[in-house]
Structure 1
Amino acid sequence: MSFFGLHYNLEKKAIGLVLAIIGVASIGGAVEIAPLFTIHQTVEEAPNMRVYTPLEVAGRNIYIREGCYACHSQMIRTLRDEVERYGPYSLAVESKYDHPMLWGSKRTGPDIARLGGKYSDEWHVAHLNNPRDVVPESVMPHYSWLGRNSLRNEDLGKHLAALRKVGVPYTDEMIANAAADAYGQAAPDSPRAEGVVKRYGEATNVRAFDGRPGELTEMDALVAYLQILGKLTDAAHKTAASGAQ
């Protein structure tokens, strides 16, 4: 019997055909679903990983709003040239608190998974105001208005509360003080700065990111977010060090 003859016979037996489709689809579904039962074995441990501060959450929201993820990935692959250029390859745990994930695959601009601390705040501000001032060959558009836009921070507590519902361990105190902490992180000389360090740790970046203390802008938030990328945990660097031994 030819292949087409077999196919015609199957079409005549609708119930059999439906059962065959279900069977094949079930195999595909099992292949995709089964690994989820071993997720605890594939996601690395990072007990000292910290959460994003309210200001960094706001910056991440702006990053998404402006479509920055369309040109910058946040996933360093295990390829040698990528590791040599960007640093240790990305681990699953590093995106543990990212909702949504921003791994990406498009690189009109460089990967920024380990951008934090690579450049100064002043560099980032200049780059966002006019990218060609610091990277002459850049095709990135400017975002100078971010420095003129005051950051809306009164609803950041709601953002943190929503993130807690999907597994980010924000405390009631963090949620209640979200607006104050967003201001305090960008105003190092204000009394609110102490609260940020108390709730998020000594390693938290507390400074006037856009160079204008006392005035909270969207530029502050975006630079604060960019400066923490790759620094929520050092798990990747430990993995790279152990692999080199």
Structure 2
Amino acid sequence: MSIFGFHYRLERKAIGLVLGIIVVSSIGGLVEIAPLFTIHQTVEDAPDMRLYTPLELAGRNIYIREGCYACHSQMIRTLRDEVDRYGPYSLAVESKYDHPMLWGSKRTGPDLARVGEKYSDQWHVAHMINPRDVVPVSVMPAYDWLLSTELRTDDLSLHLKAQRAVGVPYTDDMIANAAVDAYGQSSPDAPQADGVTRRYGKATTVRAFDGLPSRLTEMDAMVAYLQVLGRLTGAAHKSTAEAGASQ
């Protein structure tokens, strides 16, 4: 009996067909679920991994709000040309605290996984105001209103709480001081700046990202987020160095 003949006969028996569907679906589900039991073996350890500050998280929310992920990916593949252009390939652990993840696959613009500190704050501000001023062939739209729009901070603690609910280890102290820390990170001379480095580590960048320390804008948040991409942990650079040493 051919496989097609067996299938035609099976279609005439409702119970047999249902059981067949259950078996095939179970196999597919097992293939998808089984690897999750070994996830701790496949995700790299990153003891130096730090959290997004409230300002950086606000910038990430703006990045999502404006649909930036539709044109920029945040995942460098292991292909040689990608590594040569963008830097070390992305590791799973680098997206450990990204909810939702923004890996993407569409690249109307370049990948941003390693854009942190590649350009100055002034470059990013100019790029947001009018992309053609710094990249003449850019097709990116302008986001000049970010510089004149005050950043909303009264709900930042709620955003941190939501992140903690899905596994990001924000402390009660971080949540309670979210609004204060957002202001402090963009105002290096303010007393609130000390609290940012105390809660998030000395590696945290504290400066007036939009060049205007007197006010907190959405541009501050966006630039702060872009400048930390690829810099939450040094695991990728360490992995590349170890791979080179073993060759």
If the length of structure 1 is used for normalisation, what is the TM-score? 0.98
1:98-137 to structure 2, matched below 5 A, reads: 98-137=98-137
CA distance in 2, matches of 1:156, 1:221: 12
Deviation at 1:94, TM superposition (A): 0.2
Which residue identity does 1:243 align to in structure 2? Answer: A
Counterpart residue number, 1:211 = 211
Deviation at 1:3, TM superposition (A): 5.0
Deviations 1:146-204 (A, max 9, x none): 00100001110111111111111111110000000000100111111111111111111
193-202 or 120-129, larger mean C-alpha shift: 193-202
Q: Is the counterpart of residue 18 in structure 1 residue 8 in structure 2?
A: no
Identity over the aligned pairs, expressed in percent?
A: 77
CA distance in 1, matches of 2:124, 2:162: 29
User: SS at 2:228's partner residue?
Assistant: coil
User: SS at 1:77's partner residue?
Assistant: coil
CA distance in 2, matches of 1:130, 1:229: 22
Deviations 1:43-71 (A, max 9, x none): 00001100000000000000000000000
Count of matched residue pairs: 245
CA distance in 1, matches of 2:110, 2:10: 52
CA RMSD of superposed structures (Å): 0.9
Which residue identity does 1:164 align to in structure 2? Answer: R
Counterpart residue number, 2:239 = 239
- Give structure 1 stretches of 5+ with no counterpart: none
Counterpart residue number, 2:162 = 162
Deviation at 1:6, TM superposition (A): 2.8
If the length of structure 2 is used for normalisation, what is the TM-score? 0.97
1:220-231 to structure 2, matched below 5 A, reads: 220-231=220-231
CA distance in 2, matches of 1:7, 1:116: 56
Does the C-alpha gap of structure 1 residues 4 and 45 become closer, same or farther in structure 2, counting only changes over 3 Å?
A: closer
Moved over 3 A (4+): 1-5
Which residue identity does 2:178 align to in structure 1? Answer: A
Counterpart residue number, 1:63 = 63
